[in-house]
Amino acid sequence: MEYSAYIQYIGWILMAFWLFLSSADEAYCEWKGIVLSKKRKMFWKGMFLLSVIIILGGHFLITEV
């Protein structure tokens, strides 16, 4: 049961990390005048979704036990 809390913590940390990096990437591209590609946007959305899945996985481990 305690491992599920650690899994959730990892998910929250990853989510904050991906949100920070995607914001920094978007700001850098805007500053340099570069158009952010669809692949890059989808990558950041995918990483965000992965962290949400990790958080939910940790939550369901808690409720299952």
pLDDT digits (tens, 9 = 90+) for 12-46: 898 899 889 999 998 999 999 988 888 988 998 89
Q: What is the pLDDT of residue 20?
A: 92
pTM of the full predicted structure? 0.73
Q: 11 is in which domain, residue-wise?
A: 2-64
Q: How many domains does one find in the chain?
A: 1
Q: What is the pLDDT of residue 1?
A: 57
Question: In terms of DSSP H, where are the helices of 1-65?
Answer: 2-32, 38-64
Q: How far apart are CA 4 and CA 63, in angstroms?
A: 10
